[in-house]
């Protein structure tokens, strides 16, 4: 007890003092750092430039990096408070091994020995493919590159995937089918240059608020937002298309139908740069406006208006995020988007692009360098030339590369359920919150012989189940690069030391390789992340994602730079893919795809009358392992809620703030706070997915896109019940 404080002699004036600093201006003295470290934000894939303020070896403040080309001297609320994620009670600080059922602290040497021995033993007993790896979009590119080599060349398993499959896999598959390669064609600047911007299933205002600046700066655009919910972004729109859940593919086909029927297409472009027009034209007969109106719930007039606006635009931009991807028809929907761009020639020009707005800070990095859905450099597993080229670059036997990809994320989980995967390594992701239908996941994980979880935090719902926990350095504690949604490579820098014995993921991969005697072969001469980056530049040279012209020195000097940048080229302010109409297919032509619409798999009815939609809120990030540690974000968004239209609530006798359970065929989320709002249509409900305490993925459906393997998070059938008091006790 401080008696001076109790009497009031002391009012903590030192703690709350202000000071004037040349660079920060007049501000709270404790927030004025000794120096600023420029880096890139570690949350989403907008890729904002940020500076970490360091005082006495501690991260005390965050601010936008004024010179960075992406974020125009702004940050979202998560970025503005990002330094709080670093120093938290819940950081994983020491390696932990499960002994007699309890996680106990061990030294790194022991942790790595246990890991190496158990992985090798499992592989010896059940074959190399019995080891699975679930990675992330959160590491730096250099780490992804190192991890890919370790998993494929070292452990020899291709049962390796990332949480990117829960996120952007449908965009990847769609791009590959339509354009012959992954790689978002456009740039953020296109949102500023387009005269028609169509956003589908993308709530930028909540999820990528910094990108709203590009839309704001575009005074001449017509903004069309297709979303079943009247999201914050829908409210910014000139035209909101409140379509029925998952009817977007029918809408896109309906627009294509009108474009073709009324000759609003760019026939010369179609003839010169695409294949499949004749088939598509026939296929689109099945999507006349009257049918599309019925499927989408939109008026024919609205559909016509949308088609005419996009068709007649000088530069039409289509942006999408999870509303499209989180679907069993995600890949098909991406193809239908690409169809529109190809039919009208709205691609490869300023303002004209189909554009996926990515989720994680470096999902792009893992897509380019990783070994999950393709070989490094967007090389294809099933292309012998690609395999031979990579084998030559690495000086290894081509036979060490499989000719097809291994199991995708949900199939790894299924294989664990079936006991085909016996050991699993989870890196920087938290499936115990994020995976659809948690029951299946828990079953799969409980079947494992050995589970390694490498994370910055402990405990998380996932580390609690681990046999081995590896403590990793977090954003702000390590170096490397992130690549954002618009292919812009941006430097990530170290500001402070990791806590305890936590090490960067890069160091962990190298140490494990060393332990297994693979270091010289996999990582010849590497000592720093820059060594990995320079090898990657060589490996990506001549590919669509060409990094060869980008160096750490250039990034330090010029800020963030977009790929492709061939060796010796000078970076442009903005680059676009396919400006020359040459696509990454054998004949250089893009493919027009006949993408058939179908209703989502679990239709509402009977005991489960509501359609449940899931999504995000601006204050939180993914499974909240990071943002839970930021007091101001927790203050602003302390708990989950369920949005329901008042007309439905009246029927059920429910009121705002009532405690309700959300029940599906797969499970139950207990005691969610009900929010009555006209944002959500009657018959639909919405719930954010960030909260482990009230985890919506207890009830979501484990149905997956047949091509991308992305889950259908956005629609499933549920009912809402008033919670029974004490049922959770």
End-to-end CA distance of the chain: 36
Determine, following the binding rule CB under 8 A, whether residue 296 of this chain makes contact with another protein. no
Which residue number, 658 or 710, has a Cβ lying nearer to another protein? 658
With 0-12 / 13-18 / 19 or more C-beta atoms within 10 angstroms meaning exposed / middle / buried, residue 724 is exposed
Determine, following the binding rule CB under 8 A, whether residue 611 of this chain makes contact with another protein. no
- SS3 of 313-350: CCCEEEEECHHHHCCCCHHHHHHHHHHHHHHHCCCCEC
- Could you say which of 55, 77, 393, 402 contacts another protein (CB under 8 A)? 77
Element at 717 (helix H, strand E): strand 716-722
- Looking at residues 247 to 286 of the shown chain, list those that interact with another protein (rule: CB under 8 A): 266-269, 272
- Could you say which of 393, 518, 679, 721 contacts another protein (CB under 8 A)? 679
- Looking at residues 346 to 375 of the shown chain, list those that interact with another protein (rule: CB under 8 A): 348-350
Determine, following the binding rule CB under 8 A, whether residue 637 of this chain makes contact with another protein. yes
Determine, following the binding rule CB under 8 A, whether residue 678 of this chain makes contact with another protein. yes
Determine, following the binding rule CB under 8 A, whether residue 721 of this chain makes contact with another protein. no
Strand order of the sheet with strand 58-64? 35-40, 49-55, 58-64
Element at 660 (helix H, strand E): strand 659-663
Which residue number, 77 or 601, has a Cβ lying nearer to another protein? 77
- Looking at residues 538 to 567 of the shown chain, list those that interact with another protein (rule: CB under 8 A): 558-561
The owner of tokens 């400006």 is: 579
- Could you say which of 528, 632, 650, 651 contacts another protein (CB under 8 A)? 632
Q: How far is the CB of 228 from another protein (least distance, A)?
A: 9
Which residue number, 424 or 662, has a Cβ lying nearer to another protein? 662
Q: How far is the CB of 334 from another protein (least distance, A)?
A: 23
Determine, following the binding rule CB under 8 A, whether residue 665 of this chain makes contact with another protein. no
Determine, following the binding rule CB under 8 A, whether residue 651 of this chain makes contact with another protein. no
- Looking at residues 297 to 336 of the shown chain, list those that interact with another protein (rule: CB under 8 A): none
d(CA 344, CA 306): 14
- Looking at residues 330 to 349 of the shown chain, list those that interact with another protein (rule: CB under 8 A): 345, 348-349
- SS3 of 375-395: ECCCECCCCHHHHHHHHHHHC
**For residue 34, what are the contacts with CB-CB under 8 A and spacing of at least 6?**
54, 55, 56
* Helix and strand numbers, DSSP H then E, in the chain: 26, 28
- Rg of the chain, C-alpha, whole Å: 25
Residue 674's beta-bridge partner residues? 642
Q: How far is the CB of 240 from another protein (least distance, A)?
A: 7
The owner of tokens 């106990």 is: 104
- Could you say which of 131, 133, 205, 260 contacts another protein (CB under 8 A)? 205
Residue 131's beta-bridge partner residues? 423
Strand, coil or helix: 455: strand
- Could you say which of 39, 434, 645, 708 contacts another protein (CB under 8 A)? 645
Q: How far is the CB of 564 from another protein (least distance, A)?
A: 14
- Looking at residues 155 to 194 of the shown chain, list those that interact with another protein (rule: CB under 8 A): 193
Which residue number, 657 or 665, has a Cβ lying nearer to another protein? 657
From residue 184, give the alpha-carbon distance in Å to each of 258, 370, 550.
26, 17, 19
Stretch that binds another protein, among 174-182, 457-465, 545-553, 677-685 (CB under 8 A): 677-685
Strand order of the sheet with strand 423-427? 102-105, 96-99, 468-471, 450-455, 423-427, 131-135, 160-162
Determine, following the binding rule CB under 8 A, whether residue 69 of this chain makes contact with another protein. yes
Which DSSP state fits 608? B
d(CA 245, CA 227): 8
Q: How far is CA 461 from the centre of its chain?
A: 20
- Could you say which of 428, 452, 618, 649 contacts another protein (CB under 8 A)? 618
Determine, following the binding rule CB under 8 A, whether residue 528 of this chain makes contact with another protein. no
Determine, following the binding rule CB under 8 A, whether residue 680 of this chain makes contact with another protein. yes
- Could you say which of 88, 90, 213, 447 contacts another protein (CB under 8 A)? 213
- Looking at residues 14 to 53 of the shown chain, list those that interact with another protein (rule: CB under 8 A): 15-16, 18, 20, 25-31
From residue 596, give the alpha-carbon distance in Å to each of 170, 251, 329.
15, 11, 9
The owner of tokens 């028809």 is: 329
The owner of tokens 């859940």 is: 245
- Could you say which of 39, 40, 45, 61 contacts another protein (CB under 8 A)? 61
Determine, following the binding rule CB under 8 A, whether residue 400 of this chain makes contact with another protein. no
d(CA 368, CA 65): 26
- Looking at residues 565 to 604 of the shown chain, list those that interact with another protein (rule: CB under 8 A): 570-574, 576, 579-581
Determine, following the binding rule CB under 8 A, whether residue 209 of this chain makes contact with another protein. yes
Determine, following the binding rule CB under 8 A, whether residue 631 of this chain makes contact with another protein. yes
- Could you say which of 1, 9, 586, 729 contacts another protein (CB under 8 A)? 9
With 0-12 / 13-18 / 19 or more C-beta atoms within 10 angstroms meaning exposed / middle / buried, residue 725 is exposed
Stretch that binds another protein, among 231-239, 333-341, 423-431, 512-520 (CB under 8 A): 231-239
Q: How far is the CB of 15 from another protein (least distance, A)?
A: 7
Stretch that binds another protein, among 139-147, 170-178, 378-386, 629-637 (CB under 8 A): 629-637
Determine, following the binding rule CB under 8 A, whether residue 410 of this chain makes contact with another protein. no
Stretch that binds another protein, among 36-44, 71-79, 354-362, 511-519 (CB under 8 A): 71-79
- Looking at residues 419 to 448 of the shown chain, list those that interact with another protein (rule: CB under 8 A): none
451, two tokens = 């589970």
Number of residues that bind another protein (CB under 8 A): 96
Determine, following the binding rule CB under 8 A, whether residue 235 of this chain makes contact with another protein. yes
Strand, coil or helix: 415: helix
- The answer to whether 256 and 340 are in contact (CB under 8 A) is yes
Which residue number, 395 or 573, has a Cβ lying nearer to another protein? 573
């Amino acid at each position: 007890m401080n008696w001076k404080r109790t009497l009031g002699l002391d009012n903590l004036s030192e703690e709350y003092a202000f000071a004037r600093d040349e660079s920060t201006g007049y501000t709270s003295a404790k927030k004025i750092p000794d120096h600023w470290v420029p880096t890139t934000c570690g949350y989403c894939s907008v890729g904002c430039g940020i500076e970490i303020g360091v005082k006495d070896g501690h991260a005390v403040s965050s601010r936008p990096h004024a010179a960075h080309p992406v974020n125009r001297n702004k940050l979202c609320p998560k970025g503005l408070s990002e330094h709080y994620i670093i120093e938290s009670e819940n950081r994983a600080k020491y390696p932990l091994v499960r002994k007699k059922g309890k996680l106990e602290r061990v030294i790194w040497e022991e942790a790595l020995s246990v890991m190496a021995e158990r992985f090798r033993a499992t592989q010896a007993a059940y074959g190399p493919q019995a080891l699975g790896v679930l990675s992330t979009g959160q590491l730096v590119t250099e780490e992804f590159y190192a991890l890919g080599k370790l998993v494929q060349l070292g452990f020899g398993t291709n049962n390796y995937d990332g949480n990117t499959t829960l996120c952007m896999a449908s965009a990847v598959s769609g791009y590959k089918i339509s354009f012959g390669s992954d790689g978002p064609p456009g740039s953020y600047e296109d949102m500023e240059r387009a005269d028609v911007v169509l956003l589908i299933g993308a709530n930028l205002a909540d999820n990528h608020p910094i990108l709203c600046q590009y839309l704001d700066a575009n005074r001449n655009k017509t903004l069309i937002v297709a979303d079943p919910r009247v999201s914050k972004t829908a409210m910014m729109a000139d035209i909101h298309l409140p379509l029925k859940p998952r009817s977007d593919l029918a809408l896109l086909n309906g627009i294509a139908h009108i474009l073709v029927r009324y000759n609003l297409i760019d026939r010369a472009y179609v003839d010169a740069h695409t294949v499949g027009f004749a088939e598509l034209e026939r296929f689109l007969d099945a999507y006349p406006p009257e049918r599309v109106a019925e499927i989408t719930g939109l008026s024919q007039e609205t559909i016509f208006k949308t088609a005419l606006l996009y068709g007649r635009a000088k530069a039409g931009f289509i942006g999408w995020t999870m509303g499209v991807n989180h679907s069993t028809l995600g890949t098909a929907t991406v193809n239908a988007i690409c169809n529109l761009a190809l039919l009208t020639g709205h691609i490869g020009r300023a303002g004209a692009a189909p554009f996926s707005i990515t989720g994680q800070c470096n999902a792009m990095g893992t897509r380019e360098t990783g070994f999950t859905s393709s070989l490094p450099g967007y090389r294809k597993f099933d292309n012998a030339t690609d395999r031979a080229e990579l084998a030559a670059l690495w000086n290894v036997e081509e036979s060490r590369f499989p000719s097809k990809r291994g199991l995708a994320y949900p199939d790894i989980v299924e294989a664990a359920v079936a006991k085909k995967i016996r050991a699993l390594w989870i890196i920087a992701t938290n499936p115990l919150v994020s995976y659809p239908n948690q029951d299946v996941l828990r079953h799969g994980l409980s079947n494992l012989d050995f589970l390694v979880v490498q994370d910055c935090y402990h405990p998380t719902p996932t580390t609690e189940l681990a046999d081995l926990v590896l403590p990793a350095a977090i954003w702000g504690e390590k170096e490397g690069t992130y690549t954002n949604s618009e292919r812009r490579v941006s430097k990530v820098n170290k500001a402070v030391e990791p806590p305890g014995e936590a090490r960067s993921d890069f160091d962990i991969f190298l140490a494990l390789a060393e332990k297994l005697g693979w270091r010289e072969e996999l990582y010849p001469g590497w000592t720093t992340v820059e060594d990995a980056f320079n090898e990657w530049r060589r490996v990506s040279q001549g590919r669509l994602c060409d990094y060869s012209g980008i160096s750490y020195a250039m990034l330090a000097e010029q800020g963030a730079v977009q790929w492709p940048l061939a060796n010796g080229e000078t970076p442009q302010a903005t680059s676009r893919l396919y400006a020359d109409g040459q696509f990454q297919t054998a004949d250089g032509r893009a493919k027009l795809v006949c993408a058939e619409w179908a209703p989502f798999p679990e239709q509402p009815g009977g005991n489960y009358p509501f359609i449940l939609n899931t999504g995000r809120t601006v204050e939180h990030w993914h499974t909240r392992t990071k943002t839970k540690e930021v007091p101001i974000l927790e203050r602003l968004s302390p708990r989950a809620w369920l949005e329901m239209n008042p007309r439905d609530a009246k029927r059920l006798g429910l009121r705002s703030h009532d405690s309700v359970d959300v029940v599906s065929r797969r499970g139950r989320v207990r005691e969610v706070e009900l929010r009555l709002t006209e944002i959500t249509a009657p018959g639909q409900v919405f719930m954010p997915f960030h909260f482990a305490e009230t985890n919506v993925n207890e009830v979501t459906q484990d149905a997956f896109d047949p091509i991308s393997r992305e889950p259908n998070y956005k629609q499933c059938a549920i009912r809402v019940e008033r919670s029974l008091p004490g049922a959770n006790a």
